[in-house]
Structure 1
Amino acid sequence: MKPATPAPSAAYLPLKALQAFEATMRLGGIGRAAERLGVTHGAVSRQIGLLQQTLGHPLFEGPRNARRPTAEAERLWREIAPAFAALEQAVAGRGRAGRRVRVSCLSTLAARWLIPRLPDFAAAAPGVVVELTESYAPLDRTLGGADLAIRMLAPDTPCPEGLEARPFMNNAIGMVAAPGAASDVRLVSRSHPAAWANWSPLTGQPAPAGGPVEFDHQQTMIEAAAAGLGAAVAQRPLVEADLAAGRLVAPHGFVSDGAVFAAFHRRGEAGPSTRRFLAWLEAPGQKI
């Protein structure tokens, strides 16, 4: 009897190396990939080196402190990214890693609008941990290592390549001042220098003639308005608690300037916990 011919062995598939490469491409650097994978920078670097040896060509080029992916690396990443996204979604929610959402948010919005609402999310989604970082950095597909990034989206502005945008709240702006305080001084934040110029045509109201008195951020500008130092144009989500408490008044109300607050995530990569956070985010956002 002729012995059976052994089945050919499966081709070698360097899964760990591919995982390290995919994370590096998705998150924009070896350091971020190492942090996400829970290994050292050197471990990720070695795996990428192994993958380059297996493929027989380099995947990154340029000086050591500014390496960038080659065209072949971009092609490979586009081909393998959907598979890793599918694997991640398949295990999401079955362990601690799937119960965590990393959120990057504009700092004043985080302090004045998002953080006060996070206890509601904790009650609605027990066990899902939100890790919050504050950032104004421009967006690309890395999202600075976050799962979601909350930013402003101006009218007719395209979503950055590789990302999906989920608008959840209109940007309503209005003039605010302390009750009974003189509002003849213009308060301005350097982060939004055109606020008065945008508000006046929308409302037909002139800006105060006095000032401007400048502040680095909206947070300090709003506190200055509440202290009676003048009037400011502010986004409604940032001052709604002050309005409710009577620290500020908005004599002309609020009007939308056409922009929206949006949550950005990498295309096709929103896992169950991230989708749950997105759905929750839209509920309070619609009330503004």
Structure 2
Amino acid sequence: MKPSVPPLPLKALQAFEATMRLGGMGRAAERLGVTHGAVSRQIGLLQQALGHPLFEGPRNARRPTAEAERLWGEIAPAFAALEQAVAGRTRAGRRVRVSCLSTLAARWLIPRLPDFAVAHPGVVVELTESYAALDRTLGGADLAIRMLASDTACPEGLEAVPFMDNSIGMVVAPGGAPDVRLLSRSHPSAWTDWTALTGRSAPAGGPIEFDHQQTMIEAALAGLGAAVSQRPLIEADVAAGRLVAPHGFVGDGAAFAAFHRRGEAAAPMRRLLLWLQAQGRA
């Protein structure tokens, strides 16, 4: 008589996989639609079944053990395959959560999203704005849009899909103040980078500082001074004549890239990635 095989603890494995993938039980609970306590109980049951702990450290800063990392590496592809199998069959399966740099979201991505909605009416894009550094959790997102420098490696556990080269240039409003420097604290090296790439001198006046590129660009549009900006952020304003780039734009070797967890690329996400690449080429 063959020994009986214990039933597979699918709920416990699902709670564990989501906790590992998203970086915490709270995020796992939110994604699974259950309470934090429910996730904790399922992981406790899994630990009992395996006979060893999966997390260690203080209660408010639990971290996975080496065995947890090994187990997650083995089961994650299976759960990714299951998610892909149901993607497109339910509205939730057609949803893509995107974390994006706020100025790029406001000035480049959002104006283009109606085109994506027409091309892919079944895919829902949920957008949040963030400059946070990336790890495999992606802050709970499915896809994160960030800058990828030419000499920077992709964070562990993630894959990067570059979709648009970055170029920068000095812009000023017609009739504005080209001798005054505008600067954003979120990108303090902009003028230094531009002068190094072009060999030109920065305006002597200023700087007038702003917290973010978005408000700096608005100040340039208002005629307060000249700014160094990434081309995708102001291309519509240049095309409309609201800003001029007297010295053109120069590539800095970086690219805008969409990051996703390695092995995760369900159909809705692939559609969004292909669309981003097409938009970047355009």
Range into which the TM-score falls when normalised by the shorter chain? over 0.9
Quick check: 1:120 aligned with 2:115? Answer: yes
What stretches of structure 1 of length at least 5 have no aligned partner?
A: none
TM superposition shift of 1:8: 4.7
2:260 is aligned to 265
Tell me, what secondary structure is at the counterpart of 1:179? Answer: coil
1:210 is aligned to 205
2:216 is aligned to 221
Q: 1:270 corresponds to which letter in structure 2?
A: A
Tell me, what secondary structure is at the counterpart of 1:232? Answer: strand
1:147 is aligned to 142
Q: 1:89 corresponds to which letter in structure 2?
A: Q
Quick check: 1:49 aligned with 2:44? Answer: yes
2:99 is aligned to 104
Which of 158, 163, 175 is the aligned partner of 1:163? 158
State the distance in 1 between where 2:274 and 2:258 align: 11
Q: 2:130 corresponds to which letter in structure 1?
A: S
Quick check: 1:9 aligned with 2:4? Answer: yes
Q: 1:72 corresponds to which letter in structure 2?
A: E
Tell me, what secondary structure is at the counterpart of 2:11? Answer: helix
Tell me, what secondary structure is at the counterpart of 1:156? Answer: coil
What stretches of structure 2 of length at least 5 have no aligned partner?
A: none
How large is the RMSD of aligned CA atoms in angstroms?
Answer: 1.0
Offset from partner CA, 1:14-58 (integer Å, 9 cap, x none): 010000000000000111111111111111111011101111111
Q: 1:203 corresponds to which letter in structure 2?
A: T
2:14 is aligned to 19
Tell me, what secondary structure is at the counterpart of 1:130? Answer: strand
* TM-score relative to the length of structure 2: 0.98
Aligned length: 282
Work out the percentage of aligned pairs sharing the same amino acid.
84
2:68 is aligned to 73
80-89 vs 98-107, greater mean Cα deviation: 80-89
State the distance in 2 between where 1:122 and 1:27 align: 27
1:94 is aligned to 89
Which of 249, 252, 270 is the aligned partner of 1:254? 249
Which of 165, 172, 180 is the aligned partner of 1:177? 172
Which of 184, 189, 202 is the aligned partner of 2:184? 189
Q: 2:31 corresponds to which letter in structure 1?
A: R
Tell me, what secondary structure is at the counterpart of 2:82? Answer: helix
1:32 is aligned to 27
State the distance in 1 between where 2:115 and 2:124 align: 12
123-132 vs 10-19, greater mean Cα deviation: 10-19
State the distance in 1 between where 2:121 and 2:3 align: 49
1:59 is aligned to 54
